[in-house]
Structure 1
Amino acid sequence: MSKQTVSRRVTVPSLRARKGSEKIVCLTAYTAPMAQLLDPHCDLLLVGDSLGMVVHGFSTTVGVTLDMMILHGRAVVRGSSHALVAVDLPFGSYERSPEQAFAAASRTLCETGAQAVKVEAADGVADSIAFLTGRGIPVIGHVGLRPQAVHLEGGFKARGRSAEERERVLAEARATDAAGAIAIVVEGVTPELAAEITVAVSCPTIGIGASNACDGQILVSEDMLGVFDTTPKFVRRYADLRTTISDAAAGYAAEVRSGVFPSEAEEYRLKSHS
């Protein structure tokens, strides 16, 4: 009897071990079917709070709730078997105190089956990261452009271009690393700063709009697949699904209106009796 190959998820130690070696491949996922398609190709699937904008049509990520994250996190875990799955903690669910962060993170892991949570840098968040990791919860940090701080920072703008901003972002990265983060997402910074952060921290860095100086890369899948008519500067489109989906819907609509669909091939017949 032949042995059945059992797929094993990427683990936190194996992800950390990729620091400075093989690049880490990451994409966002919000649904089970998409997770199933992306899973064989990715080391990490992030259930990002970007789902507020990508799936629910919000203008920012600020309105996303913990219940929303958990709902989509469950779907991605069910649809995947290889990649490590991390779930964003949304705005307002972790900033108040380490205890609040632990309540949100422990609920997220318990109810989704994910392996890690992600938090954005802010005052006191490094303390919360240390609190969580000390209690067995893997945490991914996030520095640079912080979508949850969009109102404070006046929009989705690159960070670290001035000396003051550069020092702040670098300090946040170092504090996040020292607190025990398993990886750090570095978003919207110059290549020079991305390289400096990657050298300064012991955990892998995952870039988005931060050059190939990082230990890995992540993109919003729908941006990468060309679902939207516009995409950020740092996105490279690998498909044009917006056109594909629109053309398919137009073809379907035309055939319904003309009576071509459904045809006999799509109809059920009475069973014959002998």
Structure 2
Amino acid sequence: MVEEFSTTQSQNKISNCYSITISKMDSKTNCCKREAAYCCNSGYLARKDSRAQLLDLRLRVQRSAANVDDSMRLINRLVAALSELLSMRSVSGILHTCATLDMATEHSQKCCEELVAVGAVGTLLKLIRSVSRSIPDQQVLKHALSTLRNLARYPHLTELIIENRGSVETILWEFLRNKEEAYFIASDLLKKICQNQKGVEAVHNLPALLRRLHNLVVELGKKAGNDKSYTRNLVTKEQAERRLRVAAELLELITNSGGQRN
């Protein structure tokens, strides 16, 4: 009898605990449902109240777009700045314009196409040929090459760059003689050019510069392997190895593409 009574008590306790747990779960569920309903209703009321404000905002934007000064549009301002680039005398002004062109062409294909259509490639190449070795001019060179690199992201524009007289020679020459950041930008640009068959042919039509590229790879390889100063200066060593790797990759790309051409 005692055992039966104990068993009955245990079962009753378990049953009570289960009932309490179920009750709590139902309570939480109902609470969540009420909160969800409240949120939905609040969202509906907020959207309803702001409908007039959104309509007013939309109309104001449309009026602003209709009355905008066409000369103040970004692309038109870029075109105007490009047309004045070669006549500028202030290095800071030239640098600012080139940096703006670089940024705009990095983010907009339409800007790239519009600028190429108004002769940006020829203007930038003339600018590249005219810069000196001074630090400000090298900053100008960096942005000019970077802008051309941005244009070359699009195959149909790459072909227009290649077709511009002396373009490949100018870019390859800057790559060979530069030791700063412009070296790597010119390398990226040349790789894009060499992905086009006309670009490969243009490079192979410059045997003197091609020999210099080969000699550069050999020279950088010797320096990276023999110069003991590189082992003392880790940054210098990494920079030299990076320059070697970039030059070797470019030479290999040109050589392999030339083999396919033949």
TM-score scaled by length of structure 2? 0.23
Relative contact order, CA 8 A, sep 6+: which one is greater? 1
Between structure 1 and structure 2, the one with the greater Rg is 2
Q: Normalising to structure 1: TM-score of the pair?
A: 0.23
